[in-house]
Structure 1
């Protein structure tokens, strides 16, 4: 009889254990869902996207988080439908890269926390009331290294630069805000900004040719009319024919042929976004009360090949500060 009771108790204990394990499994919290939206499927957004994902994982949001990454196509109707479908899912947080992605998400009226990155002016874009207190569901980081710092870097190599030309999208609030600040910063360095507004019907090459006769350098700014793929190619082409240096927006511009760029370290910028996202995911912070941040690290890139073609000598003081130097001559001599 005792043996029967012991066996019964053993079976009961096993069954109870199985029920408890099942109960614990059923009670485990559901995975968080993070949606990452890039303005386009181009390499420009890759470092920040990678930095963000890596940063989340390093902060404990790896196995417990499903991360979905998508890119806008540029077709407004198609993109709106795609985002509408994604917004209806149970997102814990949305991370946007670039102006188009941020604007498209904002127009879909999300209710979950949203973190933006790689934009210039969130206030002009309408996703923040102020940098200190954004309000609403958005916060994030700006891409912008101050115009004054960029122009100062150009002057270190080209002290004779007095006029700098740039293109921008006509009526774009973000570019107009940047241009206003840039004009003030440039005046402190005795530099004049000569700008040309671009409309869909403006001939970019003709506009650049017009600027080339008035300025000593071109400046690419974060605006599709200025630094989009075709705009970059056109600017470099006209600059080459007139022997004008180009101040770029990123390391990629410098590798393409620009003389230099002082830009945000995009991988680190993504990590800053992850640092901001972590308390939003665990509920210990609210986006509307989380201050917008700027780049934590900047990156100076210099193209010695471009300098040589222009007959310029880059001071050693600049080279010592450079994070990246493009020099095919050094690569060739090193391979011998």
Structure 2
């Protein structure tokens, strides 16, 4: 119900008189900033974003220009890319790379409207003043990345009941790294599991980390992180190479051959971002568009083919909860 109200409010803004940038005769420009790559985002997520824009009356090449900039998994490039979009004076910045892209965009400009994703509390991070009335130039979608870590541990324990040590792959460069580590330790402790913390922020470290996880743990939980999503094909391949039961944070990992995932519906988030972007182009102010919270869109996906390869039996208790089952 809340989701319908939020999207209706955003769509309703389209009926308001077009003011500010939207009054300009030139075609408005959207800067699309992602920590990921075109290959990782394009197939399933960009269509969802464009669908949202379309519902708001905008189409790329028809009445809006979109400039895509990709960090290709490099946190170091985000500040410069966000700064370049700000210097170009685009009409809206879409920070589609998680919390780190949102923070980089917010730091780059206090004026240009920003629509983005936040994987942690946006008030605590300084992105908005409140969820319901953001108050500044940022709005978008809050994803429950941290809150769903405990559920991922529980799912992995059901799949690997004799596991005593669980590895947790984290990126120490992420803004909310300590929050997810704390949530992971608490969830593992409740299940009587020991946590082996492994870290990676580049491709070589990823390869070493998954090799270490296989040597000392019965399964692996991947922290919700934009860099890991940008490298999801590599991570899935490494987990398969090491025959390591792994639980992920987005369905896209499972579609690429991963075992199981639990987390926000990323395509739905991109759709909502598209709707909000269109509303702002039509004259709405991000300060008055409530942050959408994806409490209604946590989803479970299972790849039975991967489970068979790993010689794991997927319990009925998991199958009946699953939103997506890949045979």
TM range (shorter): 0.7 to 0.9
Cα 1:306–1:110 shift into 2, 3 Å: same
Equivalent-residue separation in structure 2 for 1:305 and 1:177 (angstroms): 33
Is the CA contact 1:134–1:289 (under 8 Å) kept in the aligned structure 2?
yes
Q: Any gaps of 5 or more consecutive residues in structure 1? A: 1-27, 328-336
Structure number with greater Rg is 1
- Please state whether the residue corresponding to 2:306 is helix, strand or coil: helix
Matches within 5 A, 1:191-210: 191-198=193-200, 203-210=205-212
Is the CA contact 1:219–1:246 (under 8 Å) kept in the aligned structure 2?
yes
2:182 aligned residue (180, 183, 207) = 180
Is the CA contact 1:169–1:224 (under 8 Å) kept in the aligned structure 2?
no
Q: Does 1:54 align with 2:56?
A: no
Q: Any gaps of 5 or more consecutive residues in structure 2? A: 1-22
Is the CA contact 1:133–1:290 (under 8 Å) kept in the aligned structure 2?
yes
TM-score for both structures, normalised by structure 1: 0.71
- Please state whether the residue corresponding to 2:254 is helix, strand or coil: helix
Shift of 1:137: 1.4
Equivalent-residue separation in structure 1 for 2:87 and 2:190 (angstroms): 49
Equivalent-residue separation in structure 1 for 2:40 and 2:121 (angstroms): 18
* Greater length-normalized contact order (CA 8 Å, ≥ 6 residues apart): 2
Shift of 1:129: 5.2
Is the CA contact 1:35–1:93 (under 8 Å) kept in the aligned structure 2?
yes
Tell me how large the CA RMSD over aligned residues is: 3.6
Shift of 1:127: 2.8
Shift of 1:81: 5.7
Compare 119-128 and 156-165 and name the one that shifted more: 119-128
Shift of 1:302: 1.2
Q: Does 1:237 align with 2:235?
A: no
Number of paired residues? 297
Equivalent-residue separation in structure 1 for 2:236 and 2:310 (angstroms): 18
Q: What CA deviation, in whole Å up to 9, does each residue of 1:110-166 have, x standing for no partner?
A: 512211127455457553455455443112213434112323333443344443212
Where in structure 1 do 4 or more consecutive aligned residues deviate above 6 Å? 75-79, 199-202
TM-score for both structures, normalised by structure 2: 0.73
Is the CA contact 2:134–2:286 (under 8 Å) kept in the aligned structure 1?
no
Partner residue, 1:91:
90
Cα 1:233–1:87 shift into 2, 3 Å: same
Is the CA contact 1:124–1:173 (under 8 Å) kept in the aligned structure 2?
no
Partner residue, 1:269:
269
Q: Does 1:39 align with 2:66?
A: no
Q: What CA deviation, in whole Å up to 9, does each residue of 1:20-55 have, x standing for no partner?
A: xxxxxxxx8634433222223234323333222211
1:163 aligned residue (137, 162, 165) = 165
Equivalent-residue separation in structure 2 for 1:323 and 1:177 (angstroms): 27
Equivalent-residue separation in structure 1 for 2:75 and 2:168 (angstroms): 27
